[in-house]
Amino acid sequence: MPRPTTKSELITAAGAGWDKMWEMIGSIPGGAQSVVFNFENDPKLKEAHWARDKNMRDVLVHLYEWHQLMLSWVNANRNGEAKPFLLEPYNWKTYGDMNVMFWEKHQNTLYESAETLLRESHGKVVALIATLSDEELFEKKHFTWTGTSSLGSYCVSVTSSHYDWAMKKIKTYQKNI
C-alpha cells in the first residue's frame, strides 16, 4: 500500500495495518502471551530492536509508547506548550536509547496489560487523526512544531509503518519456529 497522503488514506492504512497485525498475533501457535523471540542465530538481523524485544509484550509496549509520544506531543503543542516529539534528553540520533528506556520501563508489564494499553492508545491516535483536516495532516510546515515535515508523516510512522515493523518481527518469529 502506498504511503498515505490524505486523512482518509491514513485512517484506512492505520486500520488495515492494525487489523492485519492482530490477525497475525492471533495466529501465533500457543498464543501470543507465550511467544519468546530468539533472533540471535540470524546474522542479517543487526538492528538493535532484534536483540531488545524478547517477546510479544515488548513489541506491544513499544507501539504503545510511540502512540503516547504522538498524543502528548500533539496535545501539548495544540495547547501552546512547545514540546518536542521525542522525550528529553533524546534526539533522532539517540532515540534508540529511548526505546531501551521504554523496554526497561515495561519489564513488569503483563502481556494482557500491554494489549489493553495498546488497544486504548490506538483508538486515541485514530480519534486524534479524525479531528484533523487534510491540510493539517499533510501540508508540510502547517504547524511550526512539526519542523519541515507534516503532522501526517508522524501519524503514519506511529501507526501503519510501525504496525508493519511489528508484523515483520512476527513473520520472522514464525519463520524461526
**Is residue 3 scored above 70 in pLDDT?**
yes
3-state secondary structure of 175: helix
**At residue 42, does pLDDT exceed 90?**
no
Percentage of the chain lying above the pLDDT 70 cut = 99
Position 176 pLDDT exceeds 80: no
> What does the pLDDT look like over 63-122, one tens digit per residue?
999 999 999 999 999 999 999 999 999 999 999 999 999 999 999 999 999 999 999 999
Q: What is the pLDDT of residues 129-149, one digit of tens each?
A: 999 999 999 999 999 999 999
Q: Would you say residue 150 has pLDDT above 90?
A: yes
In this prediction, residues 162-166 reach a mean pLDDT of 97
Q: Of 83, 84, 107, whose CA–CA distance to 95 is shortest?
A: 84
pLDDT at 174: 85
Question: What confidence tens digit (pLDDT) does each residue in 13-36 have?
Answer: 999 999 999 999 999 888 878 888
Closest CA to 70 of 17, 122, 134: 122
**Set of cell numbers at residue 1:** 500500500
List the CATH code of the domain at 51-176. Answer: 1.20.120.450
pLDDT class of 45 with cuts at 50, 70, 90: confident
pLDDT at 167: 96
What size, in residues, is the chain?
177
Contacts of 171 (CB under 8 A, 6+ apart): 24
Look at residue 54 and tell me whether its pLDDT is greater than 80: yes
Mean pLDDT, residues 167-175 taken together: 90
pLDDT of the residue at 1: 67
DSSP 177: -
- pLDDT: which is higher, 40 or 103: 103
Quick one: how far is CA 87 from the chain centroid?
Answer: 15
CA nearest 30: which of 165, 172, 173? 173
CA–CA distance, 20 with 136 (Å, rounded to integer): 27
**Range 48-68 average pLDDT:** 94
**Rg of the chain in Å (alpha carbons):** 16
